[in-house]
A and B are shown apart, each in its own frame.
Chain A
Amino acid sequence: MPGPTVKFQPDARTVAAEAGQTLLDAAFAAGIPLNSVCGGRGICGRCLVRIVAGEAEVDEGGRVPGGQEILACLSRVTGDVTVDVSELSRIEGEQILTGAERNGPFMPIPAVPVPSDPLVFALPLQLPQPTIHDCLSDLNRLTRELRRVGGIQDLVVPLDVLRTAPQVLRDANWEITAVLARTNGAHELVALRPGAAASGLYGVAVDVGTTTIVVHLVDLASGATLGAAAGLNRQAAYGDDVISRIIHAGEPGGLEGLRNAALGVTNVLIGGLAQAHGVARDDIVGAVLAGNTTMLHLFLGLPPAEIRREPYIPVISMPPAYRAGEVGLRVNHHATVAWMPGVSSYVGGDITADVLAAGMDGTEELSMLIDVGTNGETVIGNRDFLVCCACSAGPAFEGGGITSGMRAALGAVQRVKLAPDGGLSWSTIGGGRPRGICGSGMVDLLAELLLAGYLDRAGRLRPDAPVVREGPDGLEAVVVPAGESATGRDIVLTSADIENLLRTKAAVYAGGALLTRRLGIDIRDIQRIYVAGGFGTYLDIQKAILIGLLPDVPVERVTFIGNGSVTGAKMALLSHETWRRAAEVAQKMTYRELSTDMGFMEEYVSATFLPHTDCARFPRACAQLGRQD
């Protein structure tokens, strides 16, 4: 007897499910990524669905009081069921901002020239037909031609590609295209395709973030980005930070669960992009992934336990390329899957990618890179040296742990300004009705509340300020009233949200400040600051300085590079030369451990203030606030 099926409306997509599986998992399997900030723990209340036909078993707390909607993560399949996915909980893959679209004065991509020599490329070949006098084996015939046409001396042919060779060669009448990957120090045959065509090959660049996974689909021949998609890393169900996930990986089945969670999202995102752009999964022949070292371990199913224990030794930091089939990536089975090389247990390939995206390894000027992610990293250096550090910052600026927080997607409030009447005016990404607030909106909001005096420098709301009211959990600022929002609910910033943001910005700033101190560098000597992170299409640098997220330097010295991780990964995917440089960058970067540095806590506590406890470090920001302590 076949198992139960779940049908999703309005997509009319049906998937086979197992009894006891949650509707969230089923939606996920159907390729309908539902909004779920908590990763399915029944906390965030975002994965709302409505049952149209059939039934589901709803766990305690899974029903919306007074409404028909239920939480998909707390509802289990018992038999055939049809559910309607609420407008609120949908994440439209195409709507999520991913760093592919950039505009505004603060969003120039640094002009880093990338040679066009993709990691995976096609070589059209016309092989001479075998005769009794030219009786080389199929493989030798192929290698001879590759040597002659492409000068390739180091061909590696996996057994399963070889198995398909005789058929392909003869069916195509010896006119074929060899798809070759340049990883692991050799040329590996990814596929043999009938006919001579250098185009029609695609690759994906993936940023495997602790909170968000972003995929770009790229045409390998033209270098064009066809589309981009982002989704929440479903590992969030096992904890917000890498440490709790490492702990979970040690439990029975934990590692496999974590691997499948990240892999699943990535596959859904790739599948969605491929479908939307009419690309066959089989034509996706290369992938470059960037993520922190823990993400790398979990994605590949490598035990991450030692990352957490002194002396913090990862299994790998610069992994060889594997094939998609081994990794579990649902693209061409033989596609090469490469990871951006990392530096240490706490500075991963995402930072190498950031450095490449910013181009800071090639310049003479002393620059600093700040990656505002769940893990906050700072790199300081130039073409002669690179030093980096990492600290746990939390997912607040990506929307995690913030009541009305969301990623930078359509409908996210990303600009906030104090209106003349004392209220708040805002604008959203895409201009539609607001669904939540993204990172750049939070930066704006904190700065405006602070400037208006609605917020004190310790981050406490003033109870008598115009937009402030007593909420269920203390004071909160109402950003968008329910009547104007897309969700029918108030979009608010609570006191707890502000504390969370304050802690995150303090950790990010403290890491950079301590690193400069330990290097004996004055922040004024740094000629350029690159800021990476999934904020939105824009980040108001001045406001980021005003709240003390970024050091108080002249605004024109700061360049926002958006998602540097996916940009760097894409650059490596499109250029073997850049890929080679990535290894160089990772090797030359020196890691500075902050966890054993007594100065960190000091820096951190002094940064948990707006903009900072020490006004001497933020002279312009404090002057703007009328303070000179």
Chain B
Amino acid sequence: MTVELVRETWPGKIFAVTIGATASEGGTRARTVTVGGHAALPFLPGDALSPNRPVVAMEVMDALPQDWPEALKAQLGDVCSSPADWARKCVEAYGAELICLRLNSPHPDWMDASPDAAVATVRSVLEAVPVPLIILGCGHADKDNEVWPRVTEATKGERCLIGVATPENYKTLVVSCLADGHSVLAESPIDVNIQKQLNILITEMGISPGRIVLHPGNASLGYGLEYEYSIMERIRIAGLQGDKMLAQPMLTLSAEESWKAKEAKLPEAAQPAWGSESRRGPAWEAITATSFLHAGADILVLMHPEAAAAARRAIADLSAAAATA
């Protein structure tokens, strides 16, 4: 006797968003990355197979936080002082499919770097790597609004993913992305309604819902993971049910959140029973990220090469298993 698999079909479809543009498309990337396009929940054998697997992006910063974990410093070494070198290493040595460049230095409380300096950084990374770029602002609304238009202009044609747009600050970013052909990363505080409201506001400015990627909040293992998981799952189900304002691919900043956990970064000397932080940290990051895969995450932004490798293995295994049914 065989057990018949239940095959679920959905009325809606998740938008496919392409990041990066090749020379023939007006950009300079060697390859592009397309996420989304799903017609079913992820990795379910028998359901509609997704045309696009989740991808691993690796995070690069133009300035390191003071409390940046030792385990990461030790792993990444000297390249952290140059965003271009760092990005190059992520692509060449660690197989990053995209680079997520975080522009910390313009923050007034950090280095208060000028928009010109930010543009120069972005250019250097673009030149250093052939993969598509995700670019994140510093989180200071006024400063981001100064930097964004310059960055989108400088990368015109490259079809980057730029963020983050929040309900409090989205207009400048959306206008800039609209003008220069980029996509918008829209962030909500782990709330399906606020995510949808933000998407409505963004699309009311004239950008197509197919040029948005969602970042539905920040959480990590032990720190709200299941909360964010359920919100992501609900967003995806709503999208598949036909809600176009929630039918976008999703991104998680798993590295950033994971390394905030003391369980990830506390040195072994301080807590011998927990074992070596050089293994514990990347494990925390990998578990956080791979959990979100099941909720429908399309882009995992990671930092530790071991976490990135583990996430890629998980994506390959899950996709293979789903495809064999």
A binding-site residues for B, Cβ under 8 Å: 456-458, 602, 605-606, 608-609, 613-614, 627, 629
Interface residues in B201-238 (C-beta closer than 8 Å to A):
201, 204
B200 at the interface (CB under 8 A from A): yes
B residues neighboring A (CB under 8 Å): 167, 191, 193-194, 196-197, 200-201, 204, 243-245
A457 to B193 Cα, complex, angstroms: 13
Out of A456, A605, A627, A629, name the residue touching B193 (CB < 8 Å): A605
Is the pair A458, B197 in contact by a Cβ cutoff of 8 Å? yes
Q: How many angstroms from the CA of A41 to the CA of B204 in the assembled complex?
A: 42
> With the chains together, A334 CA to B114 CA distance in Å?
80
Partner of B200, one of A602, A605, A608, A613: A613
A602 CA / B196 CA spacing, docked (Å): 13
CB-based contact A602/B201 at 8 Å: no
B137 CB → nearest A CB, Å: 20
Residues B245 and A456 in contact, CB atoms below 8 Å apart: no
Residues of B close to A614: CB separation below 8 A: 196
Q: How far is the CA of A627 from the CA of B197 in the complex (A)?
A: 13
Query: Is A613's CB under 8 angstroms from B204's CB?
Result: no
Which residues on the B side are within 8 Å of A606 (C-beta)?
Answer: 193, 196
Tell me, rounded to whole Å, the shortest Cβ–Cβ distance linking B192 to chain A. Answer: 8
Task: Say whether, besides A458-B167, A605-B191, A629-B245, A613 and B197 are in contact (CB < 8 Å).
Answer: yes
- Residues in B neighbouring A608, C-beta threshold 8 A: 193, 197
Q: Which of B191, B197, B243, B244 contacts A457 (CB 8 A)?
A: B197
A628 to B, closest residue via Cβ = B244
Contact B245 A457 (CB under 8 A): no
Given contacts A458-B167, A606-B196, A629-B196, 8 further A-B contacts (CB under 8 A): A457-B197, A605-B191, A605-B193, A609-B197, A609-B200, A627-B200, A627-B204, A629-B200
Question: In the complex the two chains form, is B201's CB within 8 Å of A613's CB?
Answer: no
Determine whether the beta carbon of A613 is less than 8 Å from that of B193: yes
Looking at chain A's contact residues, the main secondary structure is loop
Indicate if the CB atoms of A458 and B201 lie closer than 8 Å: yes
Would B201 and A457 count as touching, CB distance under 8 A?
A: yes
CB pair B201 A456 closer than 8 Å = yes
Per a CB cutoff under 8 Å, which of B191, B194, B204, B244 touches A456?
B204
Main secondary structure of the interface of B (DSSP, over half): helix
Docked Cα-Cα span, A629 to B194, in Å, equals 14
- CB of A626 to closest CB in B, whole Å: 10
Q: Could you jot down 10 A-B contacts, CB within 8 Å?
A: A457-B200, A458-B197, A605-B191, A605-B193, A608-B193, A609-B197, A613-B193, A613-B197, A629-B196, A629-B245
Q: Which chain B residues border A613 with CB–CB below 8 Å?
A: 193, 196-197, 200
Question: How far apart are the CA atoms of A606 and B198 in the complex, in Å?
Answer: 12
In contact, A629 and B201 (Cβ under 8 angstroms): no
Q: Which A residue's beta carbon lies closest to that of B209?
A: A629
A458 to chain B, nearest CB (A): 6
Q: Give the CA-CA distance A373 to B284 in the complex, in Å.
A: 50
Rounded to whole angstroms, the CA-CA distance of A629 and B193 in the bound complex is 13
Interchain nearest-CB distance for A475 vs B (Å): 13
List B contacts of A456 (CB < 8 A): 201, 204
Write out the residue numbers on chain A whose beta carbons fall within 8 Å of the beta carbon of B167: 458
**Which residues of chain A are within 8 angstroms of B197 by Cβ–Cβ distance?**
457-458, 608-609, 613
- Specify which chain A residues have a CB less than 8 angstroms from the CB of B200 in the assembled complex: 457, 609, 613, 627, 629
User: Which B residue's beta carbon lies closest to that of A629?
Assistant: B245
Q: What separation, in Å, do the CA atoms of A602 and B244 have in the docked complex?
A: 19
How far apart sit A522 and B104, CA to CA, in the bound complex (Å)?
50
User: Which has the most chain B C-beta neighbours within 10 Å: A456, A606, A629?
Assistant: A629
- Min C-beta distance of A464 to chain B, whole Å: 12
Give every chain A residue within 8 A of B196 (Cβ-Cβ).
606, 613-614, 629
A-side contacts of B193, CB under 8 Å: 602, 605-606, 608-609, 613
User: CA of A429 to CA of B191 in the docked complex: distance in angstroms?
Assistant: 42
Task: List residues of chain B with CB within 8 A of the CB of A609.
Answer: 193, 197, 200
Q: How far is the CB of A624 from chain B (nearest CB, A)?
A: 15
Nearest CB in chain A to that of B244: its residue = A629
- Nearest CB to that of B191 among chain A residues? A605
How far does the alpha carbon of A606 sit from the alpha carbon of B243 in the complex, in Å? 14
CB distance from B207 to the nearest CB of A (A): 14
CB contacts (< 8 Å) of A629 on chain B: these are 196, 200, 243-245
B194 near A457: Cβ-Cβ < 8 Å: no
Cα–Cα, bound, A457→B245 (Å)? 14
CB distance from B227 to the nearest CB of A (A): 13
Separation in Å of the B168 CB from the closest CB of chain A? 9
A-B pairs, 4 with minimum CB distance:
A606-B193, A605-B193, A629-B245, A613-B193
- How far is A418 from B100 in the complex, measured between Cα atoms in Å? 47
> In the bound complex, what is the Cα–Cα distance between A457 and B194 (angstroms)?
12
Report chain B residues within 8 Å CB of A457.
197, 200-201, 204
* Complex-state Cα separation, A608 to B245, whole angstroms: 16
For B245, list chain A residues within 8 Å (CB). 629
The smallest C-beta distance from B229 to any residue of chain A, in angstroms, reads 17
CB-defined contacts of A458 to chain B, threshold 8 Å: 167, 197, 201
**Min CB gap A618→B, angstroms:** 12
